[in-house]
Amino acid sequence: MNHACDNLVWLGMVPEHWQVLKLRQILSPVSEKNHTDLPLLSVIREKGVIVRNIEDKEENHNYVPDDLSGYKLVKFGQFAMNKMKAWQGSYGVSGFDGIVSPAYFVFDIQYDINIDFFNRAIRSIVYVNYFGQASDGIRVGQWDLSVQRMKEIPFLLPPRPEQDQIVRFLDWKISSVNKLINIKRSEIKELDALKRSMISHAITHGLKSNVPMKFSGIKWLGDIPAHWQVMKLRQILHPVSVKNSPELPLLSVVRERGVILRDIEDTESNHNFIPDDLSGYKVVRKGQFAMNKMKAWQGSYGVSDYTGIVSPAYFIFDVTFENLAYFHYAIRSKVYVNFFAQASDGIRVGQWDLQMDKMKEIPFIVPPTDEQHVIVEYLKQTLHKYDAASENITAEVDVLEEYKIKLIANTVTGKIDVRDIEIPEYEFVEETENVEADSKEIVEEGLEDE
């Protein structure tokens, strides 16, 4: 039998034998500092509490202070929360001992509860809604959690044996879904690899077979069509630096897409601090070439389709090349990414500083103008097919992710009774990361907004 209860708008009917608690009965705030020897942790929406790799700039978008003595201790089994992002689910039970931003909340779990059940439940979409209700917006993407209202959030607690069974059931079912998601993501990666190889072949060998070939002059590149020319980038790219246009839209340069509009209202795509004064940012005109010089080695550059401003640390160039579409396709292919890697010097993990003098000497293979146009049209048509196939598979992944979200929510709120379900032997499978998330590639000089 089920029963309803006040303030259970998103929880609905509750199994009669379950308790309805308040979070104040479960969580007790703690604050302990001066543990600088422990690893730095982060609390993110997708995974909860994770170890923050301060050496990897792809995972560590923000400034880390030299003095970490003010950072809060989080012990294994404690509950940590980014209070400004609780409304989107940036909280969870920690599986590590470490330290977090002093702006975070840390709690002991003081109730007799399976912490895996609590973590699964509290991070489900049902409870995220309550944290949103308990937060007040202070600016877009930043909602300050009210501790008093948080304490009154209801929490459904089944008997301990049922908690344990729910954890086993969800681990089993989620593992099954993860297997399918991983297969789909592998298919997407394979399509991407095929697409990149197709582009590389087109811009180094052309579309015609059995044409006379000549040595390119680069050992690992091999032969190119004999009638194609080889230029140096210094003949094509000419550095410019124009500032004092803060009214223009903010742009970013990312590996997957080149130059994009940066949505400053979207904190999921915009991890880093944006200064109030943008007068020092560089202007990028439509048709110019923009480059994140610290990430050129991985392909973070491209011809811009927009007029806007970028970080003052970026390189901007005028392009002396008639067919900009061809130049963009070619220069962003894996062939040229290798050249930019060779022209960069590593200063720390994930950050390789491009040397302008070396970059100027990178060779650029130039087919005749008519062939350039044919190659561009071929790439547009062929890439559309690859992209459509990838989008279809991505849609299938989205359906599986949505199923997982609903499965967890329905199970931790008692909509699915798992008490008599027999769990078979299985090997748990983690979900592979979505490495194509552009939000992890928008890295600009800035401070963590915590």
- Walk along the chain (450 residues) in steps of 10 and give the mean pLDDT of each run: 55 89 96 95 92 61 76 97 91 96 94 96 93 77 83 96 98 97 97 95 94 90 94 96 96 92 61 77 97 90 97 95 97 91 72 86 96 98 96 98 97 96 95 56 30
pLDDT computed for residue 62 by the predictor: 57
pLDDT computed for residue 2 by the predictor: 56
Helix count and strand count (H, E) for the chain = 8, 28
* Cα-trace Rg, the chain: 26
Residue 306 in 3-state DSSP? coil
Distance of CA 117 to the CA centre of its chain: 27
Q: List domains and CATH numbers for the chain.
A: 2-157 (3.90.220.20), 188-374 (3.90.220.20)
Give CA–CA dist 355/359, Å, rounded.
6
Give CA–CA dist 319/237, Å, rounded.
5
Structure tokens at 433: 């990361």
Q: Are 53 and 60 in contact (CB under 8 A)?
A: yes
Global pTM?
Answer: 0.82
Non-local CB neighbours of 378 within 8 Å, separated by 6+ positions: 202, 207
- Residue written as token pair 């029963």: 3
DSSP codes of every residue in 75-120 = -TT-EEE-TTTGGGT-EEE-SS-EEE-TTSEEEEE-SS--HHHHHH
